[in-house]
Each structure stands twice: as C-alpha cells, then as structure tokens.
Structure 1
C-alpha cells in the first residue's frame, strides 16, 4: 500500500511540476515562452515521495521480521537447502564414471582453472581421483602381502582389472588432485595450525600434519551431501594436528588420556592463579577440576620436561651435567685425599646433581651415582680375595645381579659340604674386615 502510494505521488501530474521545453522541427525559428519554474513547491513534492519510499521499506522490513518470527528461521534454512540442491545438481551434471567400470578413466582437466578456491565441480572431481588412487594403493598392498614382494605395474593393473595405461593415468590424476587440493586449501591449514603454536611442535610441523589431515579428509569427502569441502576437512585437519601434538611433542610419549588431563590441569592452574593471585596447590586444582589429588600429583610429575645432560649447570656454561657426573664417578680413582675431605667432596658433588634434577628417590642422580660408586668399591674389595672365596661371596650375596643362593645350594654347585661353604664365607668376610677398602664402603652406609 505504501509503495503504491509513493509511485502514484511520483507519477501523477501536478500544477507545480516544471514543464520541459520542446523544440519545433520547423526551419523557422520562433521565440519560446515558458512558464516560470517554481522550485520550492517541487522540492516539497520530492521530499514527500522520499518519505513515502522510506515508509514502504520500513513496512517491508517489519513484515519480513514478523515472517521470520512466525517461521522460526525458516528463511535461513531455505537458503541453505537451496545452496545444497545447487551443489548436488552440479555434481550430478558431471556424469561421473564409476572407477574401473570397463576400461574408462575419469577425465580431469587440471590446467583449466588455477584459482585459489576450487569450484564444486573441481572439488568433486579431485576427491573422486583421490578415492580411486586410495583404492589402487589398497589393492597394491594386498598383492604385496599375498605374493610377499612388490608387484610390477602389469601385475598391479591385471589385479584391479584395467589396462596399464589406465592405471598410470589414474595414478597421475591422483597426484595432480592431491597437489591442487593442497595448494587451494593451504591457507585454511595454516590458519588452523597457527592456533596450536607453542605446544611442542613448530609451525612447519603443524602445517605438515594439517596437510596430511586435509588429504585424509578429502579422500572421504562425499559431494552428494551438498556441503563444501572446506567445511568437511576442517575437522580432519584439526584432528591430525591435535594427535600430532599428543604423540610427537614430547620426548617421552604420554597416553591420550594423560595429555587431556595435562591440558585441564594447565587451564585450571591459569584460572586459579588469576583468581587467587598465587600458584594454586594440588588440592585446589583437584577440587576445581573434580578429580583426586593423587591424580593431579601423578600427572604433574609425569608431564615434566626432561633435562638434557648437555645443559650447562654453571652460570659461565663451562660445565655440563654429563661432565659433572663423570667427575663424580672417577673420584675414588683420580684423587688421593684424606677421608674427611673426600667424603665432603663426594657429598657436595652428589648434592649439586640432586638439586639440578629432582625426581623419585630410586631414579635420582644421587642414588644412581652412589650405587655405581659402591659397586666399583665392592669389586675392588673382592679382588683382594682368592678366586674361590670371591666366587662364594658373589653367589651368597647375589652381587652380579643374580638370585642369592644358600650355603647348601652353593655346596651342591661346587661339590662341597654346606659346613665347608659356610667356613669359607666366614674366612672371606674376616679378610675383608681387615682391609682398608672397608673404610670407603662405610661412606655409603651413612
């Protein structure tokens, strides 16, 4: 109604409308007399017409909003359905040939359109080529497993029921399709990979993993559903990147459940640090994410970053952890010092190593170095005895890592009586107590 009113106002003749001058075609020139132009009345008519048009637009907009409220967003759904139908019609118009149907091979033009964004037709063609190539690779693997060697091209073509030339063409189409898809959606891969920087992998590694996920998703893409390829492969790219971070970002790989728990603990620690303005405790983190305190403590300890043995342990960088450990291992044999000063130096070195790398009691460098040094001193002590006495002590105490044996078992092994073996063991221990090596062994018992 408002639109009709505006059109009627603009088209109806008015006494205030200016008359256009008309020229006569006669050769004689006559003086033309025109009525005076009345601009103020004309300006009022134009303003009235503009107001009517604005009112009409407002009425149409209000009617559209009312329709959307009544239809519950049906307009958006109709637009999406229309786009999907259009894509389906484009795919059906391709006239695709089933793979390996007779001897025909799907023709694909790779040099026609080198645009950054693929059309629906190109997406369907390239994904079909990737599916054909994946089927051929699966057939090749089955042949290799059956015959226990890589098949030749003729054997490969014969196994899938096509000609050698058709096989080569399908493989070439697959390689070209992979390259085109990778080039066209590289920006999408980079945009997704950039969100996961700083989590253990470089940006180049993330892009490489995302490209693998892109091709994996393109092989499974179904254009008949009417969706865009970028919408479908987005989740495949993201999944490939997340799995790569979980499997390759650490020197010691952690299970997927532990990686998820590490992310939850890190997020909880960040939130609680802002809220409490200090580092939260294990109890507070466990209460925040609703898990046991032991789980939080275990995950936090297992997710620590390993320390390199080549890392400098001094401010000048002249000594590494590996050098420090080597110096402590050959301390007994390289330096001849008094007992008290030697004991102090060993404790100082082991204490420094213990402060550098904290860990469980059984795996700390302090325990490992102490065990290695004690083993060397025990070997030195056994070398002061005769061969039979040292052999009996090794079997009785299990010094070589074997199971300790009783006197009776050692007697059967050496064809001696149980009492004789016990006597030899007592004599050997008495000899060791009289040597100076025992003083060094007492250091490890403190």
Structure 2
C-alpha cells in the first residue's frame, strides 16, 4: 500500500546584486519566475510566451537604458506564463497543467557550452541585455532540478522554482568566466541560497535560521539512510557520530523538528477543512479506548470500514489496534516511505471523518 506522499545569516553575505537593494527588493516582490501559473493556467502556446522574454528585453548600451532593460527582463520572466492560457476552476488542475507547460516550454532552450558561457558573460558585463536573457533561459532547467530536491520541505514546487529563478538571475549578473569554473557550478550556490532562505522564511509557522534548517535537513537525511541500511532507528550517539553534531544539539534539533502548524491552515490542498475543524477534544474517546469496550468494538470496526484504506491503516498503527503497540508518526512514515508530517495529516483527516460518523449516529 502506498500513501500519497533559517535569525542567523550565513557567515558571509554575498555581494549585493548590481542595481542596489531597491532593484533586489523589486525582484523579490515580483517573485521572478514563469511559474505564476498559480494565478493563470497555461495553454499549448506557453513556449511562444516564454520566447517573448528575448523580444521584450531590447538592446541597450546606455547605462539608464540598461537598467530599464534589466527590469523589463525580470518583469517579462514573471509574466511570461501568467498572460497565457485560461484560468480554470479546479485549482489542482491549474497547478499541474501550468507546471507541465512550463517544463515543456523551457526544454526548447539549448544548453550552453563552456565557450558560449565565456562569450555571453563578457557580453553581459558589457551591458548586453540579450546575452543576459540567453544565459537565464538556458539555465532554467538547472533551477527546476535543484528545486525538486527541496520538495516536501513546506513549499510547493512552483514557489521553489520562483525563488530559484531569483538566485539564477543574481548569478548571471555576478558570473565571471575568467574565474575558471562553469556557470552551472557558480549558479548552484546562488540558486540554493535563494531557495534555502525561502524555505526558512515561509515553510515554518515559527521562523528558523537558515543554518538550523540546513542542519535539520542533514539530520533527517542521515536518519533516513541509517534506518534504511540497518532496518532500525539510529541512537542519538550514532547520529552524533555520523553528523558531527553534539548530542545536546541533536536533541534540540529533534525537538525543533516537531513542526508547529497554524490551526487555521487547511489539512491538504483538496480539503477545505482546517486543523481546528478536526482538532480532537476530550469528549471524543481515543480509538483504542473504544476498542477496549466490547459493546462498541463491532461498531468501531464498521466505522473504520467507512474511511479510506490508507487512513484506516494509519489509525490502526497509531493507536495500537494491530498489536497493542502504538507507533510514532516517524515509525509509521518509515513503514510507508512518507514523512511524519504526511502521516500526521492522514491521521487528522481520518479522526475527523470518524468523529463525523459518530456524531451522525448520535454516539458521542
């Protein structure tokens, strides 16, 4: 059975992008990316729309014109997707279609050779806006590949790509081929930094420093790999040995990883219910207590049969229906290959359904 699956700054701040903080803020506010499809669906002509980026930048050598061209390039990247297609009512369909159309659109841009990067970077340094746009377009796939690594960290893929594209634009402005490295190697730092900041600032109800988020990701990865190889959960001492973290710090990270949620947040994209709607109160007995009552055992089995199979299995494991040994969220997640947050969501959804069934039958 399958289940549906940062305030300390970095030690050294990167140099401020060309154009100063005002331009940077405009870019950040703009959420520079062709992923604005959340507000507008895509059509089959999305490739032509993205191609319009090059046409709207213009050629300029004068300093003021150059800045204007840069702003236009940023704006065009953001609006390339939002001005095509038609908005449909089904939100999930819009998002899926827009992402797929974006992926198809960026495939038309060919990758650059080392010589191309050297030539274009020299032109960008000289103020050639078209060369700048070409470098951006040719590396949009790099952003997508990196953004996918941050999935299931609290932000949807389209937001991750938006933030990554902001980092890509910064890297194009700062890249110098004379340093002797390929552009993709240089851009990776800026893209990752931009996405890291977005995840730290937006994904958590309580904002965490960037370095803490990075350490959490490392601890999670090491824990997962250890459990896969050894078929058991690692001890704190073993985690300390593999991560290089102190025991006290690992315990602190484990506490932080128990993420907080807003009671007003929805359970999932396809449900309108908030966490507050399904919050269990004292008047609702725990499922294991109900099963302990032989008079209600049959009713419980019947009610459990009225929820989805994945929800039923999570409830059974979570409350010890199987062997009187309740499992933790993390243990259940390891069994089915999903995160503890996903297991928690399924549990709350299932309890909400059971509560509704019981209230409907006037059994509370």
TM interval, short-chain normalised: 0.3 to 0.5
Instruction: Report which structure shows greater RCO (CA 8 Å, sep ≥6).
Output: 2
TM-score normalised by the chain length of structure 1: 0.33
Of Structure 1 and Structure 2, which has the larger fraction of its residues in helix?
Answer: 1
Structure (1 or 2) with the larger CA radius of gyration: 1
TM-score normalised by the chain length of structure 2: 0.39
